[in-house]
Structure 1
């Protein structure tokens, strides 16, 4: 059985008000994934890295983050996590921005959504904080493909 942890990066949300994290959990669970943990941290590189590494220790197959992937100065998720993802999956970000462009136009260019594998070969997705963006990523990219990516990585 596939297991996942969900990390929300936000200066304004908590577990109770985190709609995107709840959506991610619900969608994953509806596809047979066990959500091991959910946590919210502020937009701070050290806090993001600390919680991400704590999630690594739990041994999930997937770590999904949401929030902090834009171009605002406070959006530091990608800066925090890129050093922890030595194997990137460039096609994920490219495909996500293409799908987003179809939905929201040129605003999609500001998204730094990414995916990759950490040193423990856990598949990690870094999504925007928007609930609609998370739904798009889950429905069109993550849910159809995560099992294949995990299989390829572990063969």
Structure 2
């Protein structure tokens, strides 16, 4: 008996995933949220849909409320958050997200930091990018810079999004 390869698994994965995008920032507006706009653009260009978009302050309660909204929405299959993953006093997205995750995808943060290191060197250690599973949805949390968002989306999230959603239906 042969087992399906990762390519076969991906081939069977949904081509379109319904996503919620959340930007966590104390300073951005919908007009200046270039990272949130980039996530939405890349999702749509790759055949996915944006079920909802929110811009919230980097406050744990607001972040948790938007995540809860996403997990309560039957159409949302994935949640992509950007911002608040650094180490400054105001960066609290990691704590809000980490407390909710039922399963962690440690490899996402590890590989993201490795790829970031290749681009910018040692500052990569300050990123607390993370991912995991919450209530049957995959959740990604990336830094808020456009470069970080592009890296996470193009190298990690978009190539595996459908595959991850498929795995959650097993």
TM-score by length of 2: 0.88
Q: Measure how far apart 1:43 and its partner are.
A: 1.0
Is residue 2:43 matched to residue 1:66? no
CA distance in 2, matches of 1:150, 1:47: 25
CA distance in 1, matches of 2:63, 2:152: 21
Indicate which of 33, 36, 39 corresponds to 1:18: 33
Q: Measure how far apart 1:154 and its partner are.
A: 1.4
CA distance in 2, matches of 1:129, 1:51: 17
Q: Measure how far apart 1:34 and its partner are.
A: 0.7
CA distance in 2, matches of 1:55, 1:7: 10
Which residue number corresponds to residue 131 of structure 1?
Answer: 146
Secondary structure of the residue aligned to 1:107 is helix
**Alignment of structure 1 residues 25-36 onto 2, 5 Å:** 25-36=40-51
Mark the runs of 5 or more structure 1 residues left unpaired by the alignment.
none
Indicate which of 60, 64, 76 corresponds to 1:45: 60
Q: Deviations over 1:95-117 (max 9, x none)?
A: 00000001111111000000101
The alignment yields a C-alpha RMSD, in angstroms, of 0.9
4+ aligned runs moved over 4 Å, structure 1: none
**Alignment of structure 1 residues 74-153 onto 2, 5 Å:** 74-119=90-135, 121-153=136-168
Which residue number corresponds to residue 54 of structure 1?
Answer: 69
Secondary structure of the residue aligned to 2:121 is helix
Q: Measure how far apart 1:153 and its partner are.
A: 2.0
Structure of higher CA gyration radius = 2
Give the paired residue count: 154
